[in-house]
Amino acid sequence: MANSSSISTPSRPLPYGRQHITDADVAAVVAALHADYLTQGPTVGKFEKHFAEYIGAKYAVAVSNGTAALHLCALALNVQPGQSVITTPLTFSASANCVRYCGGEVHFADIDPATGLIDLQKVRALLEAHPKGYFTGLIPVDFAGLAVNLEEARRLADDFGLWIIEDACHAPGGFFIDSQGREQRCGNGYFADLAIFSFHPVKHIATGEGGMITTNSEQLFHHLLRLRTHGITRDPADLVREPDGGWYMEMQELGYNYRLPDFNCALGLSQLARADEGLARRRQLAARYDAAFAPMPGVTVLAPATPGHAYHLYVIQVERRRELYDFLKTKQIFAQVHYIPVHRMPYYEALGWRAGDFPLVENYYAHCLSIPMFPTLTDAEQDYVVACIREFVEAPHAR
């Protein structure tokens, strides 16, 4: 890594994450706009098919965003008032909110501070402390791009009769190594019932707004397709009444309009073609950060050099986090904090959760900072980020 005297100030502000739109992406969207269908055209199914292949799942359902994906999953798994579901407090609120949309109760298990992932031992303890049947599901999150060990989660889920929704928004292309030594890709549906992804611009693949559900269950797949479009079906095999004309369709249950338009899918498809390239660059950047921070006192890297890490986020932990956040801002580096623990949100506190309930995630929150990590970040820009952080940690405390 270059020393600070040779570091130049970048010509653009550096956020923690940003999209990468190429001329090919633009051309793909323009072509979709000139085609016959603005909303549900042929690109939707094509994007779903290619995405399922990329992830290694049998089925994929494109939806309007990651939150809609979570909502549809909770509906398809029949979350009901009075049921309880376990998730991690270290996630975007949407991972928990989908249970609330269906009237269910959310419980949390604290994190493993070495990884930021939900601690499955704590999940087991929580399950054992309640009567069997009290909990119906588990929503683990591949936090920052690090894959949850879903083989272990599945064992736990089977012992207690739970379904699993894997929130894989941070981890397309990520994987963990199972007990047989096989790479298990995030969202491949091998252990989890359903997995969800987001195509918000800060995620690996951008469609504007957008999301995807993947599964290996044909039954859940068909149900999700119907729920995505008002609960309506036209499939002759599914109709409960005799059609009285070519227009005939049935609304069989209360669904939503959570469809993803054709031109968004065109953007997603074009982005998907470069997904491995972007992932490789993220891993390269992570290795460079790891090397720069290893000898830097006062900076701890969350889960350095873990195989299969998809690096949606690159997280460091420091003592004076608030000061570092403000200092970086003066340097045009816009770091972010992921996340304020879900149970500390006023909405969840009103449901009875309190500060101190999950001390490990609360301690993590006090020190974490997500620094720039996106495929178009250049080596020179990254060197500048490292130099600014070094300047901060080496400066006398008074700043």
Residues near ligand PLP, by CB under 6 A:
65-67, 91-92, 94-95, 141, 167, 169-170, 198, 200, 211
Within a 10 A sphere around the Cβ of 325, how many other Cβ atoms? Answer: 16
The smaller minimum CB distance to ligand PLP, of residues 141 and 385, is found at: 141
CA separation for the pair 62, 69 (Å, rounded): 8
Within a 10 A sphere around the Cβ of 290, how many other Cβ atoms? Answer: 13
Helix (H, G, I), strand (E, B) or coil at 374: coil
Smallest distance from ligand PLP to CB 255, Å: 18
Smallest distance from ligand PLP to CB 292, Å: 26
Please identify which of the residues 132, 203, 329, 331 carries the catalytic annotation.
Answer: 203
Amino acid at 181: G
The smaller minimum CB distance to ligand PLP, of residues 10 and 116, is found at: 116
- 157 sits in which H/E element: helix 150-160
Active site residue 329: no
Contact 68, 198 (CB under 8 A): no
The smaller minimum CB distance to ligand PLP, of residues 144 and 162, is found at: 144
Report CA 266 to chain centroid distance, whole Å.
21
- 367 sits in which H/E element: helix 359-367
The smaller minimum CB distance to ligand PLP, of residues 154 and 200, is found at: 200
CA separation for the pair 256, 211 (Å, rounded): 15
CA separation for the pair 385, 382 (Å, rounded): 5
Edge-to-edge strand list for the sheet holding 211-215 = 59-63, 211-215, 194-198, 163-167, 135-139, 84-87, 105-108
The smaller minimum CB distance to ligand PLP, of residues 57 and 141, is found at: 141
DSSP designation for 360? H
The smaller minimum CB distance to ligand PLP, of residues 117 and 141, is found at: 141
Smallest distance from ligand PLP to CB 109, Å: 16
Amino acid at 297: P
DSSP designation for 6? G
Smallest distance from ligand PLP to CB 189, Å: 18
Smallest distance from ligand PLP to CB 200, Å: 4
Q: Closest residue to ligand PLP, Cβ-based?
A: 66
Smallest distance from ligand PLP to CB 203, Å: 6
Amino acid at 231: G
Q: What is the dihedral of CA 18, 23, 28, 31, to 10 degrees?
A: 130
Half-sphere exposure of 132 (CA within 13 A, CB side): 6
Smallest distance from ligand PLP to CB 91, Å: 5
Within a 10 A sphere around the Cβ of 141, how many other Cβ atoms? Answer: 26
The smaller minimum CB distance to ligand PLP, of residues 157 and 206, is found at: 206
Catalytic residues: 203
